[in-house]
Amino acid sequence: MAFSDFYGNAETVHQLREMLARDHFPHAVILAGPPGSGKYTLALMLARAMNCLSPTTSDGLPDFCGKCSNCTRMAQAEDLNARVAEAVEARENLRETDKKETRILVQVHPDLLVIPPDPPQLLIKVDQVRRLSESIYYRPAEARERVYIFTSSAFMKEAANSLLKVLEEPPSFATLFLLTDNPGEFLPTIRSRCMILTLAALPPPEIESLLAARRPDWNEKQRALVARLSEGAAGHALTFDIATYSAARANALVILNAAARAGDHSDLFKVTETYRPGADGREKTDQLLRALYMLLEDLMYLGNGTPHLVRNTDIQGELKRLAEAVDFDWIVRAAHGLNDVEKGIRRNLLRSLSLDAFAATEHPSRFSG
Amino acid sequence: MSYQVLARKYRPQKFSDVIGQDHVTRTLKNAITQDRVAHGYIFSGHRGIGKTTVARILAMALNCRSAEHPVPEPCGICESCTEIRAGNSVDVIEIDAATNRGIDEIRELREAARYRPARDRFKIYILDEAHQITDAAFNALLKTLEEPPSHVIFMMATTQPEDIPQTIRSRCQHFSFRAVKFEEILTQLADLTARENVVAERDALALLAEAGDGSIRDALSILDQAIASSSEGITVDAVRQLIGTAPASVMEGMMQAVIHNSSQDILQAVDELISEGHSPTHLARQLVRFLRNAVVAKVAGENSALLQVSSDERARIARVAEWFSEEDLARHLQIMLRTHGELGYRQEQRFHLELGLLKMTHAQRLLPIEQLLSGAAVAAVAAPARAAGRAPERAAERAPEARPISTAPSARTSAVSPFAADSARKTNRTPEMSSETKPVQSVAKLESSGSPVIMGSAAPAVEVAVEVAAATEPQAIRDSILDALTDAGQQMVVSMLEAGEWTLEGNQLVVRVASSAAVIDMTVGADTRRIAGATASGRAGRPLKFTVLPGGTESAVEPRSTGASGGRGRMAQDPVVRRLQEKFGAEIRTVIDYREKH
Ligand SMILES: [Zn+2]
Ligand SMILES: [Zn+2]
């Protein structure tokens, strides 16, 4: 593992390493970019470059050896999902009373703390931030730099507020990485105290060539499709689950068709039945929402003279038919409705309820009068 | 890593070093000289403009050991001063209200406040982010503020003074900090880069100052980044890239696509910009700024001093202003304002930006705007009621959630907003607290001429005659609301409401304004309603619903009875500003800056 393994956004990576070389690395960095664009991978690489015991250089810039005890221990945090799953399982085995007060944190090295959103609400909570504010002012034990990585920008209000003070006067030996899909989700006061770097979406051809090398199991058509659906995120593209997406999209199409046409709602109910809250309910719902947005955006492209921007290239025909049945105002209302559904879900409403309501608001005949 | 950020390295240590807040520092110095120090201070204003810094300097000045008494300017070298600067003074306690907002912390604080200072003259509590303090904790604090020991001083810094209970506010001197002027920030940036031996292009610094948007700390923070990321000198290109600003030609191109009704050009441009790494939020913000400038150019002429932009950008703005009518520009500005406002909360930012941009082309096509907006709103509100064969109680339950962004004002007021619970809470608080505490309630206003004291009195006492719920006159409530909205930075709304007719109708506070329903809806947001509702209810001592309706006539702006409106009153006389206000509810903050520069 070294910086050469990071795919894409060479300029941004270069800039970060250059600041490292000049000992001018900011204390707080917001890494923004779509899911799968490599924010976490990059933050973890930088953590190692800051703390490698036998630091190397490449292209005249700092790199890390990947073999020393700091590098290898920090590398254990690479598979974040696995580490979080272990932590969640450990928590499950606690006594009920302790369970409630235990927060998920990933610490594979005394000077590296990874702070994921705490399940089941998947928010960063004040107790998690407290772990940071309690430890950050102590000099690192075995490394040169204490590194904290927040993997989500979904903070509980109190948690965000308690992060503010630390951000205002962080100690000279600590660096915070705040990862987000959307820097707008942070409090402006947090944003203004961080350097914001964006991992831009990679163009589809670039992703296609990456996939050609790394996913030979997909045929050319599938690779072209995934390159567009992954919205420029290399990591997302490499691990793209075509089957799951297709299922979510099929349901999304049923909902949109029901919303666009008068008449029978029975299909719709069948779909929404499957979105009852449950163990995997949240993820499933998120996938459905993403598919709905993606389809709406494609409909907008078709209706506004830019068919070449359509992502769901494999169902162009069906999309064209649907696009003819709706107009721009309908898409605008649908997007607003969908946004409300999303807000409802964030407030932990019954998911199926919100989705039914979305389809109900979408019915075009309601807007004719 | 090992370097210190500029904002900390150059944090002002004297009142005279503080930039852009002369009205505050002058008054504080005078108060010290005249031995009129208050026991409670509220410092309010946008982030990063020096509230906490001034609080610390005031603490130093009060406890400085260079004389036998408080000094108007701290010496900076005595034990007291250096300890306060280092943040380890025993008698100056800085509390981050964001993390210590609970009743226990405040009780502890109250207990500790009873003891005399360990060494210095005053025991000073600086409460940062004070609006975060819980109601119960404020209540506990109030007891100390009612009968403060002579050695105790509280200083509260906050971005949301309207969230501090009136009972507390009335016992504090309130200083409203201004957004720092573009030129003051620019001078500061030039000064600091020189001191840091950093070579910087003048235009690059101007870009940084602009990006600071009235906040010194934000500007310095971006300067830090620019220094960090460019090894040899700070160039315009480097800064542009750093703050993700697209060149003005892109904005001109967008508006050209709008006038040509070319949706595909817009979508194509967005695709290119996004793949270059531009953020949708930033693009929306830039377009808002560009359109606002185009409105200014249209109304005041392209050579207006109100346009603080480079000559290249000025020419582009002038061209765009040429292509559109005033009404069209206003409409597009409103669409982009709303789009930008909404992007922050959304996941699919690109899609929502695209929709916002396309709305401009469609609005250009489909006139009039009222029809466009109200048509959608009526349908949207009606829709959730029909719940597609589900049980009726379920339908009722989901109605507020399923309501799409409704655009008709009448619909909006009745919608359950996420803040409703909060404002209800706030509403109930004032009467509760006053019954619990003694009815000594001062709403006296300090009217010393030219003083920036906005509300409250230094002496928390005596005017028992003034009842808590005395405000039955819409005029009094109006002033409080306008003040609260001014504090919240909602200049556009203030300028609209100021010219309206205010009446109390039962439990409704109704403002009739000359603008159309569509414009009202675009200007008066959920935040405004929350603040106005809470303030109105707080002043009246009973729950009041705040409603803005069209159908008012254009009336002369009555000056507010408080100090806050001094600059505003003057500004309102300016014919260009009047026109901007009437037509577009333009961003008045810029106008204030301009007027004060002369
Ligand atoms: Zn190593
Ligand atoms: Zn001193």
Note whether B358 contacts A359, CB cutoff 8 Å.
no
Q: Output the CA torsion A279→A283→A288→A290 (10° steps).
A: 170
Per-residue H/E/C for A133-185? HHHCCCCCCCCCCEEEEECCCCECHHHHHHHHHHHHCCCCCEEEEEEECCHHH
Q: What values do phi and psi take at A121, rounded to 5?
A: -75, -15
Which of A361, A362, A365 is most worth mutating to test chain B (most B CB atoms within 10 A of its CB)?
A361
Assembly ipTM? 0.77
A266 φψ region: left (φ > 0), alpha (ψ -120 to 50), beta (else): alpha
Pick among 3.40.50.620, 3.40.50.300, 3.30.565.10, 2.40.30.10: CATH of A3-198: 3.40.50.300
Banded pLDDT at B217 (limits 50, 70, 90) = confident
Closest listed residue to residue B131, CA positions, set B375, B487, B458: B487
What six digits make up the tokens of A36? 């799968």
pLDDT of residue B144: 83
More confident residue, B392 or B213: B213
Q: How many CB atoms lie within 10 A of CB A60?
A: 8
DSSP per-residue letters across B559-592: PPSSTTHHHHHHHHH-HHHHHHHHHH---HHHHH
CB contact under 8 A, A198 and B276: no
What would the two tokens of residue B397 be? Answer: 């339950």
Do B268 and A306 make contact, defined as CB atoms within 8 angstroms?
yes
Q: What is the pLDDT confidence band of residue B398, given thresholds at 50, 70 and 90?
A: very low
Portion of chain B with pLDDT greater than 90, in percent: 28
Mark which residues 271-290 of A lie under 8 Å from B by CB: none
Read off the pLDDT of each residue in B322-347 and give the average, rounded to a whole number. Answer: 85
Q: Is A338 a residue whose pLDDT tops 60?
A: yes
Is the pLDDT at B206 greater than 80? The verdict is yes
More confident residue, A255 or B449: A255
For residue B464, pLDDT beyond 50: no
Which pLDDT belongs to residue B357? 96
Measured CA to CA, the distance from residue B430 to residue B469 in angstroms comes to 9
At B465, the pLDDT band (50, 70, 90 cuts) reads very low
pLDDT digits 0-9 by tens, A163-188? 987 887 788 899 999 999 878 778 87
All structural domains of chain A with their residue ranges = 3-198, 241-367
Rounded mean pLDDT, A8-25: 89
Among residues B587, B579, B488, the alpha carbon closest in space to that of B288 is found at: B587
- Residues of chain B with C-beta less than 8 angstroms from the C-beta of A349: 398, 401
Token pair 């070093």 is found at B17
Mean pLDDT of B221-245: 82
Distance CA A157, CA B488 (A): 19
- The residues pairing with B43 across neighbouring beta strands, listed in sequence order, are B157, B175
Q: Amino acid letter at A239?
A: T
**Does residue B416 sit at the A interface (CB-CB below 8 Å)?**
no
Question: What would the mean pLDDT of A327-332 be, rounded to a whole number?
Answer: 89
Structure tokens belonging to residue B349: 């930012």
Kindly give the distance from the C-alpha atom of residue A73 to the centroid of ligand 1, in angstroms, as a whole number: 10
What pLDDT score was predicted for residue A356?
A: 61
pLDDT for A201 equals: 85
Q: How much is the pLDDT for B386?
A: 35
Rounded to whole angstroms, the Cα distance separating A96 from A91 reads: 9
Rounded to 5 degrees, what are φ and ψ at B120? -90, 180
Over range B124-146, report the average pLDDT.
85
pLDDT range class, residue A115, cuts 50, 70, 90: very high
Range from A197-206, A357-366, B135-144 that averages highest in pLDDT: A197-206
Tell me if B293 sits within 8 A of B309, measured CB to CB.
yes
pLDDT for res B483 = 76
Contacts of A265 in chain B (CB under 8 A): 388-389
Ligand nearest to the CA of A67: 1
Please list every residue in chain A whose beta carbon sits closer than 8 Å to the beta carbon of residue B48: 192
* Residue A363, phi then psi, degrees to nearest 5: -60, 120
For A359, name the nearest residue in chain B, comparing CA atoms only: B388
Residues of chain A with pLDDT > 90: what percent?
Answer: 51
Cα gap A212→A233, rounded to integer Å: 15
Among A234-238, B215-219, B567-571, the minimum mean pLDDT is found in: B567-571
Which residues 101-130 of B are in CB contact (within 8 Å) with A?
101, 128-129
Considering every ligand atom, which ligand is closest to the CA of B64?
2
Contacts of B167 (CB under 8 A, 6+ apart): B138, B142, B430, B433, B434, B437, B441
Q: pLDDT: is B373 or B250 the higher one?
A: B250
Helices (H), chain A: 10-21, 39-51, 69-75, 80-92, 96-101, 126-135, 157-168, 188-191, 204-214, 220-229, 234-238, 242-260, 266-273, 281-303, 316-325, 328-346, 351-362, 365-368
| B132 to chain A, closest Cα gap in Å | 9
- What is residue B450's predicted lDDT score, i.e. its pLDDT? 35
Q: Which residues of B touch A326 (CB under 8 A)?
A: none
The pair of structure tokens assigned to B572 is 């309102």
B13 CA from centroid of ligand 2 (Å): 10
Q: Mean pLDDT of all residues in chain B?
A: 73
Provide the phi-psi class of B129: left if phi over 0, else alpha when psi is between -120 and 50, else beta: left
Instruction: Give the residue-averaged pLDDT of B185-194.
Output: 93
Query: Nearest by CB to B383, which of A165, A296, A361?
Result: A361
Q: Is the dihedral of CA A142, A146, A147, A148 positive or negative?
A: positive
| Residue A316: exposure state from Cβ atoms within 10 A (0-12, 13-18, ≥19) | middle
Q: Could you give the C-alpha distances from B222 to A246, B50, B112, B205, B243, in angstroms and in order?
A: 43, 17, 40, 10, 8
What's the confidence (pLDDT) of residue B86? 86
Contact A354 B401 (CB under 8 A): yes
Q: Residue B556 pLDDT more than 60?
A: no
Mean pLDDT of B335-353: 83
CA of B127 from ligand 1 middle (Å) equals 44
Q: Do A360 and B387 touch (CB under 8 A)?
A: yes
Q: Tell me which chain B residues have a C-beta less than 8 angstroms from the C-beta of A13.
A: none
Going by pLDDT thresholds of 50, 70 and 90, the confidence category of residue B221 is confident
What are the residues whose beta carbons fall under 8 Å from the beta carbon of A95, sequence distance 6 or more? none
List chain B residues with CB under 8 Å of A270.
none
Q: Tokens 């709403």 appear where?
A: B443
- pLDDT category at B211 given cuts 50, 70, 90 is confident
- CB contact under 8 Å between B263 and A306, yes or no, is yes
B473-488 confidence digits (pLDDT tens): 677 778 778 877 776 6
The 10s digit of each residue's pLDDT in B16-47 is: 999 999 999 999 999 999 999 999 999 999 88
Task: Give, in order, the Cα–Cα distances in Å from A3 to each of A62, A200, A247, B242, B472.
Answer: 9, 17, 36, 22, 68
Nearest CA in chain B to A336: B404
B1 alpha carbon, distance to own chain's centre: 33
Task: Name every chain B residue with its beta carbon within 8 A of the beta carbon of A297.
Answer: 348, 350-351, 354
Query: What band does A100 get if pLDDT is binned at 50, 70 and 90?
Result: confident
B595, pLDDT greater than 50:
no
Better-scored residue on pLDDT, B382 or A104: A104
pLDDT mean over B337-341: 88
Q: Which among A165, A332, A342 is the nearest to B98, CB-wise?
A: A165
DSSP H helices, A22-78, are 39-51, 69-75
Averaged pLDDT for residues B202-229:
85
Q: Do B402 and A357 touch (CB under 8 A)?
A: yes
Average pLDDT over residues B579-594: 44
Inform me whether the C-beta atom of residue B362 falls under 8 Å from chain A C-beta atoms: yes
Does A79 lie at the interface with B, CB-CB under 8 angstroms? no
Most confidently modeled range among A57-61, A169-173, B440-444, B484-488: A57-61
**Residue B396 pLDDT > 80:** no
The percent of residues above 70 in pLDDT, for chain B, comes to 69
Q: Which pLDDT band, with edges at 50, 70 and 90, does A355 fall under?
A: low
> What residues 148-177 of chain A have any CB closer than 8 A to a CB of chain B?
158, 161-162, 164-165, 169, 172-173, 175
Least-confidence region, from A302-316, B375-389, B466-480: B375-389
pLDDT at B306: 73
Indicate the range of A135-139, B232-236, B334-338 predicted with least confidence: B232-236
Residue A323 scores a pLDDT above 90: yes
What integer is the mean pLDDT of B517-546? 73
Q: Using CB atoms and an 8 Å cut-off, which of residues 328-367 of chain A contact chain B? A: 328-329, 331-333, 335-337, 339-344, 347, 349, 353-354, 356-361, 363, 366-367
Closest Cα to residue A107, out of A156, A55, A148, A154? A148
Of the listed ligands, the closest to the CA of A45 is 1
What 3-state DSSP class applies to A102? coil
Considering only CB atoms, B275 lies closest to which of A24, A188, A232, namely: A232
CB within 8 Å: A169 and B8: yes
Q: Mean pLDDT lowest for which of A302-311, B214-223, B427-436?
A: B427-436
